[in-house]
Structure 1
Amino acid sequence: MVHLAVILVLMAYPAIYTALKNSPVGTEAMTLLPQVETMIPVFYFGLFAMSFDFISGYTGYLSFGHAAFYGTGAYFVILTANDKVPFLPANTPFMISLVVAGLLAVVLALAIGSVSFRLTGVYFAMITLGFAQVLYVFVSGWDYVGPNPHDGILVNGPAGLNIGVPGIDSLNLAIGALTGDTVSLGFVHLDQTGVSYYMVGLVVLVCYFAMQRIIHSPFGKVMIAIRENEERAIAVGYNTFHYKLGAFAISAFFAAIAGGLLAGYQRTVSPDGTFNFLVAGDALLASIIGGFGTLAGPLYGQLFDESVREFLSKEAQGVGLLPYLRDHLGAGVMGTTIYNGLTVQGAIETFLNGHADLYVGALFVLFVLFVPNGLLGTLRDRLGGPVAKTLPEHVRRYLR
């Protein structure tokens, strides 16, 4: 019920955003709501954050090197599109390269995990970070990917990368900020952004339900047992090393899928945007804001993070707080002196212009101090259980 409601809202969001944009409160709506273009990165990076939460939130092992799998997926997809993967034929469909990228990340995770899971706590986090940094340095200097490997690589050719059923053209739609397909069905018209929104969202939705099913399986119950008390799980007969390694491999698969979606949509990747340890830090930020060990929470955390950044960023293309104040405060107000020669306009430029990261950092500290379980985790605590199970009952009680 709750999942269906969330899916319906997300499906309707482009239409809702457009309707509000053209309404009398359009300016205010555009200031507060994230753009549809912003939601696409929220989807694929939210999937990466969920894959991070899958291993870190449900086993208690923080994978600070998770960007290794994100970057693997992104680079593999573009190298495949550029016919630089020797074991795949030319013009391999995007969906096949996406799955193969996930399987390659599984192999990499098994190799890294077989060493890393011999350690625990901060030592595990640091050794995974070390592996990721080795890959970061390697890719940054790997001439095979392009003439300037540190600057990243592009997809050769103008064609978009398709999401759908490989081999059936009518069931494929190209994604991409500039190269995606457009769709017209009766009164419904989707531009390139709209097509990318729904296609990327569809893949993320399938991946989410797959991870959720695993978590609610006996395998997932053992993952949670490891998080709660690994020694007890060992005592009752579970080989926790194998379960941790399996969970790590599964999370790597979905992290690579997220990286592949990034590459498919942006058609360009760089070591700093994929393999850098700060990418895993952003996933940790989204998980803490949304709720550690909730799976869906990191997606909401990423949405919250991106919304705040867009609201406070000077690069918000006329839809953030700064452009709104510039447009709606008159010249007289903007020129008013507040203190010691500092005008209203000067104060806006000083305290708002480009300081989104500062305020996001402050919000992060407040979350850690006052909302340690995150948005979804706190809601679960208030409702007394998982939102999908308990919220409908609370609604029925309220309606009686």
Structure 2
Amino acid sequence: MSEPTETSDAPAVTDRRGAYVRRILADHAVHAAVVVAFALYPIVYTVLGQTPLGSEFEVFLPRVHAMVAVLYIGLFAMSFDFISGYTGYLSFGHALFYGSGAYLVVLTATDKVPLLGPDTPFMLLILVAGLVAVALALAVGAVSFRLSGVYFAMITLGFAEVAHVFIRNWDHVGSNPRDGASIGAAGDAFAVGVPGIDALQVGIGRLVGDEFGDVFGIGVEFGTAEVSYYAIGAVVLVCYLLMQRIIHSPFGRVMIAIRENEERARAVGYDVFRFKLAAFAISGFFAGVAGALFAGYRRTVAPGNTFDLFFTAEALLAAIVGGFGTLAGPLFGYLFNASVEGVLSTEPHGIARYLRDVLSESTLSAGAGGVTVADVINVLVDGRADLYLGIVFILFVLYVPRGILGTLRDRLGGHVADRLPERVRSRFRGRNE
């Protein structure tokens, strides 16, 4: 009698599973679309570059190697938002954790770290870099979380500046520690994937190979930047999903409760000090991972591009533009910043060089009051990214304080991933009716 019952129940089980899968896909349609868009970017960029408007696309679209930086710096900005956006504690010394992860990778590759040698798998180095950052975060947080507000921000900045001065004068780093450390041409490529299985590992770094061949037979060749982009992107995606899962857990709800009203969270029985310290450690872990990815790709580190205050300011600017307390917002915020910097750069692909090439000599020399078009380009366009990013920063603070993603959430009445599909479905239903 049991066999007919099992047979009759099989279609129902299959239907339930299908409905579950469809619901998961519907709930995460926006996330999937964003991942697909990032995945297709190198191919789309190359194809657009081969069109008659290729020069124009190269001016306004970030190059693939710039998008690699968007990924690992975006991860750092998201780790900054994890603590600052979800607990309300601004960590002005967050570069300390990023720099520690970066220096660990390079010093290990040059055989200057005890217990770890140059042959240590890069995936293990990423994990160790995150754990070192956790240890530092626990030490810094144990002192810093005795304070709040601007005092917390200043004391974290103080710890980062101490580390900055120390690393600039630490002879163990190299003969000239102020210039940092470099792996150079020596050593194998750092590989992202499954350690011990060569077929499941992908080398990253600017010194890895040349071309990896045609893709899908459409004339798109994958070089070092493209392969590094996908390998680093996979790590960043996993880190994002982990942070997202933590935020949507009971632990994450306590973080938000601390941000909204710390006294009330303490009054209902939460040990807010331990929750803040744990959140700080988790944030430090992902900042250390971001630093390790940076070092693995660039193969060189320096105090100025790791421990410097201005690097934390990059994360702060990205969070403000993208949206505090949105996690993904800082990634899009830094993508926006990098795009502006690319357009206004002094490199050959910048808009200033483009205008000088496409405009005629008569147009460039035209003007009034002794000021020519060429002068305007030189003074107001060429290399003025910092000027315009500063203006953008002011405008966002004044008129878009919730940032890009935060403003979208306000307009949609909830999380973009939840509300946007609902809006789209309702529009389609309205048209069909």
Q: TM-score range by the shorter chain?
A: over 0.9
Partner of 1:333: 363
2:373 paired with 1:344: yes
Partner of 1:191: 223
Q: CA deviation at 1:287?
A: 0.2
Distance in 2 (CA, whole Å) between partners of 1:180 and 1:155 is 16
Q: CA deviation at 1:277?
A: 1.1
Q: Which 5+ residue runs of structure 1 have no aligned equivalent?
A: none
2:133 paired with 1:105: yes
Q: CA deviation at 1:391?
A: 0.5
1:87 corresponds to which of 115, 136, 153: 115
2:82 paired with 1:54: yes
2:275 paired with 1:275: no
2:317 corresponds to which of 273, 282, 285: 285
Partner of 2:400: 371
2:334 paired with 1:306: no
Partner of 1:201: 233
Q: CA deviation at 1:41?
A: 0.3
2:35 paired with 1:7: yes
Distance in 1 (CA, whole Å) between partners of 2:323 and 2:133 is 25
1:241 corresponds to which of 268, 273, 277: 273
Partner of 1:63: 91
1:178 corresponds to which of 207, 211, 223: 207
Q: CA deviation at 1:89?
A: 3.8
Partner of 2:173: 145
Q: CA deviation at 1:189?
A: 3.9
Amino acid aligned to 1:314: T
Deviations 1:258-291 (A, max 9, x none): 0011100100000010001111111000000000
Q: Is contact 2:351-2:382 (8 Å) kept?
A: no
Amino acid aligned to 2:253: K
* Pairs within 5 Å for 1:1-40: 1-40=29-68
Partner of 1:168: 197
Partner of 2:293: 261
Distance in 1 (CA, whole Å) between partners of 2:251 and 2:269 is 14
Partner of 1:44: 72
Distance in 1 (CA, whole Å) between partners of 2:280 and 2:127 is 17
Q: Report the 3-state secondary structure (helix = DSSP H, G, I; strand = E; otherwise coil) of the residue aligned with 1:398.
A: helix
Q: Report the 3-state secondary structure (helix = DSSP H, G, I; strand = E; otherwise coil) of the residue aligned with 2:261.
A: helix
Distance in 1 (CA, whole Å) between partners of 2:354 and 2:406 is 33
Distance in 2 (CA, whole Å) between partners of 1:334 and 1:181 is 39
Distance in 2 (CA, whole Å) between partners of 1:258 and 1:301 is 17
2:423 paired with 1:391: no
Q: Sort the Cα spacing of 1:398 and 1:97 in 2 relative to 1 into closer, same or farther, 3 A.
A: same
Higher gyration radius (CA): 2
Partner of 2:101: 73
Distance in 2 (CA, whole Å) between partners of 1:290 and 1:181 is 35
Distance in 2 (CA, whole Å) between partners of 1:196 and 1:182 is 12
Deviates more, 1:60-69 or 1:83-92: 83-92
Q: Is contact 1:51-1:251 (8 Å) kept?
A: yes
Q: Is contact 1:180-1:195 (8 Å) kept?
A: no
Q: CA deviation at 1:399?
A: 1.5
Q: CA deviation at 1:80?
A: 1.1
Amino acid aligned to 1:232: R
Distance in 2 (CA, whole Å) between partners of 1:180 and 1:288 is 38
Deviates more, 1:149-158 or 1:289-298: 149-158
Distance in 1 (CA, whole Å) between partners of 2:63 and 2:341 is 12
Q: Is contact 2:346-2:352 (8 Å) kept?
A: yes
Q: Is contact 1:180-1:196 (8 Å) kept?
A: no
Q: Is contact 1:175-1:181 (8 Å) kept?
A: no
- RMSD of aligned alpha carbons: 1.2
Q: Is contact 1:63-1:125 (8 Å) kept?
A: yes
Q: Is contact 1:225-1:233 (8 Å) kept?
A: yes
Q: Which 5+ residue runs of structure 2 have no aligned equivalent?
A: 1-28
Q: Sort the Cα spacing of 1:104 and 1:181 in 2 relative to 1 into closer, same or farther, 3 A.
A: farther
Q: Is contact 2:109-2:187 (8 Å) kept?
A: no
Distance in 2 (CA, whole Å) between partners of 1:355 and 1:178 is 30
Q: Is contact 2:72-2:232 (8 Å) kept?
A: yes
Distance in 2 (CA, whole Å) between partners of 1:182 and 1:344 is 41
Q: CA deviation at 1:178?
A: 2.6
Q: CA deviation at 1:186?
A: 5.6
Q: Sort the Cα spacing of 1:21 and 1:376 in 2 relative to 1 into closer, same or farther, 3 A.
A: same
2:350 paired with 1:324: no
Aligned residue pairs, count: 397
1:220 corresponds to which of 231, 235, 252: 252
Deviates more, 1:339-348 or 1:274-283: 339-348
Identical aligned residues as a percent = 59
Q: Is contact 1:181-1:195 (8 Å) kept?
A: no
Q: CA deviation at 1:181?
A: 7.0
Partner of 1:382: 411
Q: CA deviation at 1:331?
A: 1.0
Distance in 2 (CA, whole Å) between partners of 1:391 and 1:159 is 45
Distance in 1 (CA, whole Å) between partners of 2:56 and 2:37 is 20
Q: Report the 3-state secondary structure (helix = DSSP H, G, I; strand = E; otherwise coil) of the residue aligned with 2:52.
A: coil
Q: Report the 3-state secondary structure (helix = DSSP H, G, I; strand = E; otherwise coil) of the residue aligned with 1:190.
A: strand
